[in-house]
């Protein structure tokens, strides 16, 4: 019988494997799998790409001696699927291979799976254990769980502020605040989140590209709020190089990679936007400002994670950064001369 320490070690390995799929499996979750026999790893794999083989398929395919599977213990970070999607059900595969035991980190909240995978395994006589490193698994797949349970994307608020609490110069004049390491981190975050959102003023004054340049990974879908369609069509957001969604109160036909979505002025703005993004299968959105957008989402409690980059630089005036009075600090570390503070909403933990 494996020890609790061995079980935890194997599940952590499965979680590490799952992370390798970051940015490539969405809207599917990140899943890793490790197959062991008498305390030895005989196969492992992860879900590499949306539409491709799942983690269990890849892990079982890596086992060179399938006769060992009848005495194997399989560790998987999410409940094996029980329905036909892009690929056949993984629960059926585990049953067909005759594995002895399956240890699951998280149950799948997807109603197409939700408990059915475990039922199939148990009905076939496979011993099933659940909940190992459950909190770590939920954090890994926090975007997937938020999408399934809250019917909206996982919302990450990000801003850079000076030591004296400003995020732009007077009259929203763009000024460099963060250093090189912080800038690379921001591009990594853009690659990890499915969409990136800015308001009209930020789009107008900064004229951002909102793409990924200093980190390997896919560009996010650009999302901009332009209630009255006041942004110049020559701005970088409309260069057609990546999908862009414009939320507006005015009707306008789609053009190329730019979709115009008309919202109701009678309803709250951000619930409409987040609901629309959820319908587009967007699981996460990185909000890069500006202060009006950030403060509105903070006021409404429509956020899951906040990342603040604090620079030692001082501006002595300008546009004030949000001051939400946060608790729930999850991470604090140095990035060159800057400091990173990561906060998690209480409803997310």
Cβ neighbours, 10 Å, residue 64: 8
Euclidean distance between CA atoms 113 and 91, whole angstroms: 10
Euclidean distance between CA atoms 94 and 96, whole angstroms: 5
Of 38, 44, 56, 305, the active-site residue reads 56
Euclidean distance between CA atoms 117 and 93, whole angstroms: 11
Euclidean distance between CA atoms 62 and 138, whole angstroms: 26
What are the DSSP calls for 219-241, one per residue? PPEEEEE-TT--S-TTSGGGSSS
Residues whose CB falls within 8 Å of the CB of residue 303, separated by 6 or more in sequence, listed in order: 155, 156, 157, 287, 297, 345
Based on the residue annotation, tell me whether 56 is a catalytic residue of this protein.
Answer: yes
CB contact burial 5-18 (16+ within 10 A = b; e otherwise): eebeebbbbbbebb
Alpha carbon 298 to its chain centroid, in Å, reads: 19
Euclidean distance between CA atoms 234 and 207, whole angstroms: 10
Q: For strand 127-130 and strand 221-225, is the pairing parallel, antiparallel, or unpaired? A: unpaired
Catalytic residues: 56
């Amino acid at each position: 019988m494996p020890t609790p320490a061995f079980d935890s070690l194997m599940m952590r390995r499965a979680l590490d494997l799952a992370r390798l799929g970051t940015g490539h499996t969405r809207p599917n979750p990140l899943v890793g799998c490790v197959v062991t026999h008498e305390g030895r790893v005989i196969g492992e794999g992860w879900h590499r790409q949306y539409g491709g083989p799942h983690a269990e398929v890849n892990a079982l395919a890596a086992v060179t001696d399938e006769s060992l599977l009848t005495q194997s213990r399989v560790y998987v970070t999410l409940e094996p699927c029980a329905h036909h999607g892009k690929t056949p059900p993984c629960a059926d595969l585990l049953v067909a291979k005759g594995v002895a035991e399956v240890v699951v980190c998280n149950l799948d909240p997807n109603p197409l799976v939700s408990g059915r995978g475990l039922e199939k395994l148990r009905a076939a006589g496979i011993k099933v254990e659940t909940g190992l490193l459950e909190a770590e698994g939920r954090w890994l797949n926090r975007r997937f769980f938020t999408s399934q349970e809250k019917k909206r994307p996982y919302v990450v608020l990000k801003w850079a502020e000076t030591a004296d609490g400003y995020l732009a110069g007077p009259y929203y004049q763009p000024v460099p605040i963060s250093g090189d390491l912080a800038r690379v981190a921001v591009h990594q975050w853009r690659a990890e989140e499915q969409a990136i959102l800015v308001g009209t003023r930020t789009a107008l004054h900064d004229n951002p590209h909102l793409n990924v340049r200093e980190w390997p990974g896919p560009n996010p879908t650009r999302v901009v709020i332009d209630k009255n369609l006041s942004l110049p069509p020559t701005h970088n957001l409309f260069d057609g190089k990546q999908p862009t969604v414009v939320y507006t109160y005015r009707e306008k036909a789609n053009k190329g990679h730019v979709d115009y979505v008309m919202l109701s002025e009678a309803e709250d703005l951000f619930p409409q936007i987040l609901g629309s993004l959820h319908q587009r299968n967007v699981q996460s959105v990185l909000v890069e400002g500006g202060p009006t957008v950030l403060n509105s989402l903070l006021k409404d409690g429509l956020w899951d994670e906040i990342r603040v980059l604090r620079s030692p630089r001082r501006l002595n005036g300008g546009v004030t950064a949000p001051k939400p009075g946060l608790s729930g600090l999850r991470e604090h570390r140095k990035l060159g001369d800057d400091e990173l503070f990561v906060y998690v909403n209480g409803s997310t933990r």
